[in-house]
Structure 1
Amino acid sequence: MTDHQPGGHMAAEIAQQPKIFADLVARRDQIAAVADVIRERKPRFVLFGARGSSDHAALYAKYLTEVLLELPAGLVSPSTTTLYGAQPDLRDVLLVSVSQSGGSPDLLEVTQSARERGALTVAVTNTASSPLNAAAELSVDIGAGVEQAVAATKTYSATLLALYLLVDAIRGGDGRAAAPLGDLAQSTLDGSVDAVSEAVQRYRFVDRVLTTGRGYSLPTALESALKLAETSYLAARAYSGADLLHGPVAAVDGETAVLAVTSKGRGGDALHDVLDVVHGRGADVVAVGSAASAVSAALRIPVPETPEEVAPILEILPVQRLAHGLALARGGDPDNPRGLKKVTQTR
């Protein structure tokens, strides 16, 4: 039995993502079959339930639902069910429960309760045999394989892709925007090596990081802050670019590291003025995304251009590498962050 190499699991799982994306796209018909049932039921409102990284994936799906399906969507507060016993009428509502493990007690209770109250329930998980899958009427298997590192990488990005394929199929799409993502993911990982290495050196001794994005990229900013906090123990905080100028920018100065997620499209366009202000206050800005070259930044990490609605599936990849590299550079093991477990039991 060999000794564990710090970060070995996380590095391997980051590298697996191009194949996972290609395999998931190849299974699109299975997801489309779930979408057919949803479309026949004609939901008038969509709720998403999730925790942790899955909550960021759910926020991405909320954007997809509101923009591509033009349906109102919201994020569930599980405690309204688990702690307060609320029993809202959920007829004509679609509840999508997003959980990598499918083992969180609060999401299980929310799903069971919602189904009893008339909701069409769908579980999106990486564990086909999970209690959550059994509780939901329909299920989508993201098929990322066992994830050994505590910090979610491949399960997060595969969840994004599964949710995109589901929403796209509900609107009658053919998944064409997702078709090249396997190859583009490999290009992203290969093409960002040098810039990520430079970012590791820039951020190695930083204690405070602010992440920001707009639109579809906001979930990436949130996930980026979580990854940096849980692997490198940085004080990382995420803000929408729109909210950043409403007060938090006052705390930005030359000692602030800012990771900005910006891809070509309306969200990236909306971030330009924000980054001009942040950069002007002396912050060290690292821009990640297909629009990184067009914004004020000290360092840019490139990502291939895609339709804006699938950009988050690629944007997060170099940030995962950054979190991995920073953790090692700061003497940690990103496979085993202190105080964390793979499945968190909450109610």
Structure 2
Amino acid sequence: MSAPTPSQQSRVPGRIMSGEMAEQPAVLRRILEEGAPAIRETAERIAARNPRFVLLTARGTSDNAALYAKYLLEVLLGKPCGLTSMSTTTAYEAKADLTDCLVITVSQSGGSPDLVASTKAAREAGAVTLAVTNNADSPLAAVSEFHIDVLAGPEKALPATKTYTAELLALYLFVEGMRGGDGSETAKALPELAEAVLARQDEVKALAGRYRFAERMVITSRGYGYPTAKEAALKLMETSYIPALSYSGADLLHGPLAMVDNISPVIAVVTDGKGGDALQPVLDRLLDRGADLVVVGPQRQVEAASAGFVLPTEGVAEEVQPILEILPLQMLAYEVTIARGQDPDAPRALAKVTETK
């Protein structure tokens, strides 16, 4: 049998997403080796402006990266932070006074009209504006005062993978730079650890069997892991079409816990640190209810659950663990989608650049 032609290879389901997931260690290295100095310089210039609070603007996967940045900014810098509602500007034409405010807009493409319009309006309202994108020539970068390139390279699969982890690392380095630190030292082990996690695809494939026929899933976490739970839910929904509900562990206890039973699977993202400690009472309640609980996190929590994936988090700072946490969950979304006979490269009804207004 002859080898497949390039056009035939391009039709192999999931080939593009799989390849881009595999690129993530190299992307992380590139940011640390090539991007970190420019990120730190940008952070120092913005820190000199001493913004009194921060607003984060994003959609989709980048919105989950922005939520991660919100935790960093509040915990490490003590800056009051919020996620913007773009329709207040683009639909209602509200005029805000953003003097001394830092507005960070996170976007893989930098092309969504609402992101561009709201950032332009924020700059006109007196804000310091920073775009974090994978496209230095994008309209968003053009209307922003400052720009950080996440250096992920072209991303062709519709589900974002390498741009998400690139955004996380770039935002971490930026926040560290804002407080006069050098996050490169803390993050230097991440590329090698990411390679080790991605090499364990057989473990994830075995886990995927639990979800092939799932009609609903719940994903929960707390602290730095909460954005990971939201991003994992998004990946599962946009690739496999399984309704996946993401909750902070605290919010899960305020009502939604009632829907958890021994049929609908629950995935808990357990960050090794204060976030994981805060999640422990939720894990106990889930186990008491007989939930089919899968844990992504430290070995001790995985061993207490129905199944799981042990993350190599020993000695890794809690604030950068989300860069590793999402990797097995990206692979899980891929494997579940393949098992269900669908193509994760091209989810139905989606486009790479979503032109919301």
TM-score by length of 1: 0.98
The whole-number CA distance in structure 2 between the counterparts of 1:153 and 1:340 is: 15
1:32 aligned residue: 40
Out of 2, 15, 18, the residue aligned to residue 7 of structure 2 is 2
| Cα shift at 1:2 | 2.2
2:85 aligned residue: 77
| Cα shift at 1:11 | 0.3
1:245 aligned residue: 253
Amino acid corresponding to residue 282 of structure 1 in structure 2: G
Secondary structure, counterpart of 2:7 in structure 1:
coil
Residues 162-213 of structure 1: per-residue CA shift (max 9 Å, x gap): 10010011111111211111111111212x3333122111111111100000
Out of 162, 181, 186, the residue aligned to residue 177 of structure 1 is 186
Matched, 1:13 2:43: no
Out of 29, 34, 58, the residue aligned to residue 22 of structure 1 is 29
Out of 319, 333, 341, the residue aligned to residue 331 of structure 1 is 341
TM-score by length of 2: 0.95
Contact 1:276 1:296 in 2 (8 A): no
2:195 aligned residue: 186
2:203 aligned residue: 195
Within 5 Å, which residues of 2 pair with 1:62-211? 62-175=70-183, 176-190=185-199, 192-211=200-219
The whole-number CA distance in structure 2 between the counterparts of 1:120 and 1:155 is: 24
2:3 aligned residue: none
Amino acid corresponding to residue 117 of structure 2 in structure 1: E
1:48 aligned residue: 56
Out of 229, 234, 252, the residue aligned to residue 226 of structure 1 is 234
| Cα shift at 1:304 | 1.3
Contact 2:224 2:271 in 1 (8 A): no
The whole-number CA distance in structure 2 between the counterparts of 1:169 and 1:221 is: 26
The whole-number CA distance in structure 2 between the counterparts of 1:230 and 1:213 is: 20
The whole-number CA distance in structure 2 between the counterparts of 1:206 and 1:52 is: 23
Residues 74-97 of structure 1: per-residue CA shift (max 9 Å, x gap): 001000000011111000000000
Residues 247-305 of structure 1: per-residue CA shift (max 9 Å, x gap): 10000001111111002100011111101111221221111123663674111202111
1:293 aligned residue: 301
Residues 86-120 of structure 1: per-residue CA shift (max 9 Å, x gap): 11100000000000000010010111001011100
Gaps of 5+ in 1: none
2:322 aligned residue: 312
Contact 1:263 1:292 in 2 (8 A): no
Identity among equivalent pairs (%):
54
171-180 or 104-113, which moves further after superposition?
A: 171-180
| Cα shift at 1:149 | 0.5
Contact 1:264 1:291 in 2 (8 A): no
Amino acid corresponding to residue 182 of structure 1 in structure 2: P
* 4+ long deviations beyond 3 Å: 290-296
